[in-house]
Structure 1
Amino acid sequence: MLLHVLHETAYDYAPVVRTAQHMTHLKPLRTPRQQVLAHALRISPEPAQQGEALDVFGNTRSFFSLQHAHEGLRVVADSLVSTSAAGDPGGSLPWQEVAERMRYHRDARYDAAAAFVFASPYVPRDGAFARYAQPSFAEGRPLLEAARELMHRVHADFEYEPAATDVNTPALEALALRRGVCQDLAHVMLGGLRSLGLPARYVSGYLLTEPPPGQPRLVGSDASHAWVSVYLPGEEGRGRWIDLDPTNDRTPGEDYVTLAIGRDYSDVSPMRGVIHGGAHHTLKVAVTVSPAEPMTNDG
């Protein structure tokens, strides 16, 4: 599927901002199922400096600075992305065997996915998460089967309510509230998996704004979205990551665009910065993901 993503961020400041430094995660990630065909980041007013680099997770981070007074800031990320559906993930090892593999053992083979077992700023490892997740993880149950049931339960148990939380709400608080937005549901599911010793990562991205005819409109359209990726080790060699979306209770397909991956929201927030001045501000964010016309070669 060929998708056009337009992500617009607009700030209005009062009083003016004198100088500012910003960092964004707004360039979609290149993956085996996703190719970035074009990307542009348009910033107004024009930044004094601008650049980009890869972070430790392989995401593209863009940096820019504004060295003169400004009353507002507008950032538009314009991307053209080709996506494909996920293949059949096949079977998976029993979850307890996976958890045991991720534990440190002397002379054990290193698996980079083990880094996603540990606590992160928004998602501590806590007994409350383990108690919530445990009913889905019977002894000997295949990991993927158990993780899918946990996804179903989070979807059923939590009410999608934007006013209940904000971007700084801890995952334990969202667990107690049983409500929140996609970020909160992803954090809760991450907490459950990691508290059982299972690697899981946070995925930020987008959904197709208008679904195909006959398909339901998904929660999270017209905004940034978030879901979970769980690691399935192979019998031998490298394992694979499988995406699961507790907000919409489904496996992400070609109508999803992956923006960035990390331990939790703190690693991949779309935009953050430090400003001097601008004691008060208003923020508007608009996201549109639409089917694009196939590119042609007229030459």
Structure 2
Amino acid sequence: MIYAVRHTTRYQYAEPVTLSTHRLRVTPRETPLQRLRRFALDVAPDLCDLTAERDSFGNAAHLLEIRESHESLVVEARSEVALTAPTPTLDRTPWEDVAAAVARPRGPEALDAAAFAFPSRFTGADDALEDYVRESFRPGRPMLDAARELTTRLNADLAYDPAATHAGTTAAEAFGLRAGVCQDFAHVFLACLRALGLPARYVSGYLLTRPPEGRPRLVGADASHAWASVWSPLAGWRDFDPTNDATPALEHVTCAWGRDYGDVGPIIGVVLGGGAHALSVEVDVAPLGAE
């Protein structure tokens, strides 16, 4: 399946900004299941320095620096990506064996996965989370089966509520509230697995949303999104979306991955001046048909 993706972010400042620096992660990744066909990035004001780079997780990023006075900032990323559905897996590796594989990694894949088996800034687990995850990860249970059940349980037990949390909410805090947004659902999922020494990474990207039956698809009404990916020696990395109780296939476009949101935020930066600001974001994921 091929998609055209447009992600537009607008900042309007109450006062002039004299200097701003931002790191952008809005370029879809190349993966075994995703091919980037086209990408373009436009910034206004255009009197800026834009430098392409790779971060420590291999994500494509851009460093944006604006040294001219400005009262607004618009960043528009346009992409065309081709997605391939993952093949079904028969991997029945017990979760304890996966934990052992990353505790003493042998080979580059296990070593890479081991970096995602530790708590991070947003994904520390408390006693409540550890008790919760063990209900799904019973002794000897296949890793991927347990992860799928955990996905369903979190979807049922946490309410999607944008007013409940903020960008700095931790997994333990969101779980205590039993509410949050996709970022929180992903962080709670990661905290659960990492509490058992299991490798799981945070994935940011885009989600195709479908309108109610009989309604037209609204341009700009799609969403930036977050989910999680877990690793097993036989199956490799497999994605799980607790916000939607789904195993991502052909409707999730991957931009970046890391330990948590702090590693992969689409636009993160600092400004000198500006005062208060208003932020608006529009995302459009348009299906173009099969490749």
Q: Specify whether residues 126 and 91 from structure 1 end up closer, same or farther in structure 2 by C-alpha distance, changes over 3 A only.
A: same
**TM-score of the pair, normalised by structure 1:** 0.90
Q: Which amino acid aligns with 1:232?
A: S
Where does structure 1 lack aligned partners over 5 or more consecutive residues? none
Deviations 1:97-133 (A, max 9, x none): 111222248xx55622011001111112443322110
Q: Which residue does 1:250 correspond to in 2?
A: 246
Q: Which amino acid aligns with 1:186?
A: A
After superposition, residues 126-137 of structure 1 pair within 5 angstroms as 126-137=126-137
Q: Which amino acid aligns with 2:11?
A: Y
Q: Which of the residues 264, 268, 290 maps onto 1:272?
A: 268
Q: What secondary structure, in the 3-state scheme, does the structure 1 residue paired with 2:123 have?
A: coil
RMSD: 1.9
Contact kept, 8 Å, 1:89 with 1:242, in 2: the verdict is no
**1:208 deviation in Å?**
1.4
Q: Which amino acid aligns with 1:79?
A: S
Name the count of aligned residue pairs.
284
Q: Which amino acid aligns with 2:162?
A: P
Contact kept, 8 Å, 1:209 with 1:288, in 2: the verdict is no
After superposition, residues 66-77 of structure 1 pair within 5 angstroms as 66-77=66-77
Q: Which residue does 1:60 correspond to in 2?
A: 60
Deviations 1:36-89 (A, max 9, x none): 000011000014311111112111011111111101000000001111111102
Q: Specify whether residues 109 and 49 from structure 1 end up closer, same or farther in structure 2 by C-alpha distance, changes over 3 A only.
A: closer
Q: Which residue does 2:103 correspond to in 1?
A: 103
Deviations 1:243-265 (A, max 9, x none): 01101111101111011111110
After superposition, residues 209-228 of structure 1 pair within 5 angstroms as 209-210=209-210, 222-228=222-228
Contact kept, 8 Å, 2:125 with 2:172, in 1: the verdict is no
Q: Which residue does 1:119 correspond to in 2?
A: 119
Contact kept, 8 Å, 1:47 with 1:64, in 2: the verdict is no
1:179 partnered with 2:175:
no
Q: Which residue does 2:191 correspond to in 1?
A: 191
Q: d(CA) in 1 for partners of 2:181 and 2:28?
A: 21
Where does structure 2 lack aligned partners over 5 or more consecutive residues? none
Q: d(CA) in 1 for partners of 2:140 and 2:227?
A: 26
**TM-score of the pair, normalised by structure 2:** 0.93
Q: What secondary structure, in the 3-state scheme, does the structure 2 residue paired with 1:173 have?
A: helix
1:23 partnered with 2:19:
no
Q: Which of the residues 224, 238, 241 maps onto 2:237?
A: 241
Q: Specify whether residues 212 and 39 from structure 1 end up closer, same or farther in structure 2 by C-alpha distance, changes over 3 A only.
A: farther
Which 10-residue stretch deviates more, 157-166 or 203-212?
203-212
**1:213 deviation in Å?**
7.2
Q: d(CA) in 1 for partners of 2:30 and 2:142?
A: 29
Among the aligned pairs, what percent are the same residue?
47
